[in-house]
Amino acid sequence: MKILVCGDVVGRSGRDAVCGLLPALREALALDFVVVNGENAAHGFGITDKICAQLYEAGTDVITTGNHVWDQREVIAYIGNDKRLLRPANFPPGTPGRGWGVYETRRGKRVLVMNVMCRLFMDALDDPFRSVEEVLGSHRLGANVDAIVIDVHGEATSEKMALGFVADGRASLVAGTHTHVPTADAQVLAAGTGYISDLGMCGDYDSVIGLRKDLAIERFRRKMPGERLVPADGPGTLCAVYVETDDKSGLARHVAPLRLGPRLAPAWPLEGGVTAAITARIPT
């Protein structure tokens, strides 16, 4: 199976990059399944039902989130009716929405997607390790699911790595989100799980993690409330990870970063380079 997971979508620049590139990426990479973290998609803070519809229309199968999931208050009433929009599974019991789900691809394969949030330098939530263990205890690769993708939303790379090793051999891919900076450690762990500490963001990298530079710098300098932070609005770069899984075991055979856009060094997960059809869509 061929799966793509895209990092945090930040504002209009990120939405334009994902929605502009994803249809061609699905075709060029023969993707079976696409996961997108959308927690910063609505002007940098949260997500709305309309943005979910845009991402689905572009070819997204499941949307994950994180600490900004509730920033757009209307999503509280919406999330319970959208089975493809996930919030972290380790929110307290009774929180609206769901933290994981099993989804069927067009070829009839079953993909479990789970979203958890770390606790170091983050909100004090329930234990993400226990949440992962509970789901992996009842869903096994090659038995009742064909692939398992876990979005680990967190600040500390150490905590994300630890969760990756906990899931090693039991998940197809553990991908970190939240810091908006892509890491260079995409790999297949010893027992066969694909891993990367952070996907990076889909957004304008001429910015401070997707936000306008002047506003972010002023807030650091003054340490006082000021003008509301807003996303940078230059051309966006798409950052993601691509994983190919073994059809029998569900474990990763190949993991590689994908980066397309004007600011960062490009990365293409397969030999042969980016096709002309995709190159024509890259924002400039």
The residues assigned a catalytic role are 68
Choose among 42, 40, 136, 26: nearest CA to 89.
Answer: 136
Distances (CA, A) of 126 to 47, 79, 114, 159, 189: 23, 20, 15, 14, 26
Rounded CA gap, 30 and 12, in Å? 26
Residue with tokens 């689905």: 56
Question: Whats the size of the chain, residue-wise?
Answer: 284
Strand-pairing partners, residue 6, are 36, 240
| Amino acid at site 132 | V
Tell which residue, 63, 119, 106, has the closest CA to residue 87.
63
